[in-house]
Amino acid sequence: MANDSTNSSVRSSRDFKLNALLEVTKAINSNFSKEQLLKIYESILKNQLRLPRFAVFTVRPGRGIVQEISSGLTSEDLQAINIHDYLSKISDPLEVYELGESSFDWFDYIIPVFHKSQPLAYVLIGINKANSHSNLLEKEDLSFIQALTNIIYVAFENKNLAKEKIQQERLRKELELASEVQNMLLPHAFPQSHDILVDAFYKSHTEVGGDYYDFFQLNQDEYALCIADVSGKGVSAALLMSNFQANVRALFHYIPTLEELTRVLNRKVIENAKGERFITAFLAKYHARHRTLTYVNAGHLPPILISGNHQILLREGSVGLGMLDELPFVKTRELVFEPDTLLVCYTDGLTELQDDNNNFLGLDMLREMISDNRMLNPDQLTTHVLLALEKFKGNQPYKDDIAFLACRFL
C-alpha cells in the first residue's frame, strides 16, 4: 500500500508538472502578454508548488538586475538583498548557505536561468522549515522550476526579438520612403544654356538625411540656385526638405528680393519644423545678361568661387533657417562675374568625411582640390571629386549624405 501511495504521488507530481508546462506553452502560442505569462508563472509557484517565499529577478540590458515578481516578502526584505554583488556570479543552481551572505537568509535556493550564455533571470526560493512535507525541494522540483522559468524567459526574448525585427522592418521601409522622397527632390537634368554649365551629384548614406540642391530657370535671363541641409536624418528630415524645396521653387518666382525670400522661408521652416529642426541654405540668383550673382548664405558652409586665379568663400547672409522666429539680420551680396567663373557648393558630409586614420577631409583640402581642377567642366569636376572622395576615405564608410553642385558661368 505504501508503494502504491508513493507511485500515485509521483504520478500526480509528474502530471501537475506536465499540465503546468502545457498551460504555459499554450499561453505562449496564444501570444499572451509578458504580464499574463508572469501571472501564470507566479500562480504555479505560489498555488501549485506552494512555495512560501520566492522572488524573481530579471536581467535587463542596460538596467542590470531588477526585481520582477515576489511572494511572501516585504519590500524591506527585497531591498535588503545584495543582488548586484552576488547574482551575476552564479551560473548553476545552488543552496544559499554556499554563498555565506546574510542578505539571502530568507531563501534556501538560487536558480539562475540562461539562454545560451546570456543570463535571463534568477529565481530565489525560500522553504517553510515548519512544513511537515519536507524541509528541502526535490532535485526534480528544482529542475522543473528552472525549465519552467527558462521557457517563459526565452519566450520573452523571442517577443523582444520579434519586436526588434518589426521595428527594423519599419525603419527599413521608412528609409526607403525617405530615399524615394529625397530622390524626387533632386533635379535629374539641368537647364541647357550657352551661358552656364551645371552638374551635381548626391552620395547617400545608409541613414537618409535632408541634403538638397537645385538649379532652375526663372525667366529668359535669370536662374535660381540653392543648396541646403536639414539638421538630423530620417523620414522627418526628408519630408521637411521636401516642403522646403516646394517653397523655394514657388517663392523664387514671386518674391523679388533674396532678403525677403530668406525671411519668408525662415517663417515657413518655423511653421513646419516647430523648433525641432533647422535648415542651412545657400540661395542665389544669377542674371545671365548682366553676369551678376546675388546670394544669401543662411548658415551654410561657404561655397567656393574661383575666377581666374582668385578664390573666395561666399559667407554673407544670415543664421540658419528655423533657428530663430525672426532673423535678426539678412545680408545679401552681389558679384559681377568674369567669363569662365566656377562656383562649387557642397554639404558638410563632404568636408567631414574621414579617412582610415580618422582625419577629416576639411575645407582646406576641398579648396585645394577645386583649385587644382578649376579648368574642368562641371561634369568632369564632379567625376573627379567622387573618385577623390573614394580614394581619401579608404575603408571608412560615408557617415553622412553628401550633396555637391558645380556651376561654370561662361
CB of 54 within 8 A of CB of 76? no
pLDDT number for residue 350: 93
CB of 69 within 8 A of CB of 38? yes
pLDDT number for residue 7: 55
CB of 193 within 8 A of CB of 384? no
User: Which three cell numbers mark 106?
Assistant: 530568507
Specify the amino acid at residue 36.
Q
Chain-centre distance for alpha carbon 179: 16
Which CA distances in Å does 235 have to 173, 176, 210, 246? Answer: 10, 9, 9, 17
Tens of pLDDT along the chain (410 residues) come to 445 555 555 567 777 788 888 888 888 888 888 889 889 988 998 888 888 889 999 888 777 888 888 888 888 888 888 887 888 888 888 888 887 788 888 888 889 988 888 888 899 998 865 443 445 677 788 888 888 888 888 888 888 877 888 888 877 777 777 667 667 768 878 887 888 999 999 887 656 667 889 999 999 999 999 999 988 777 777 788 888 998 999 999 989 899 999 999 999 999 988 878 999 999 999 999 999 999 999 999 999 999 988 899 999 999 999 999 999 999 999 999 999 999 999 999 899 999 898 899 999 999 999 999 999 999 999 999 999 999 998 888 887 888 999 999 98
CATH class of the structural domain 2-163: alpha beta
- Look up the pTM and report it: 0.63
Domain limits, CATH 3.60.40.10, in the chain:
186-409
Domain limits, CATH 3.30.450.40, in the chain:
2-163
CB of 286 within 8 A of CB of 196? yes
Report d(CA 335, CA 405) in Å as an integer: 19
What's the CATH fold of domain 186-409?
Phosphatase 2c; domain 1 (3.60.40)
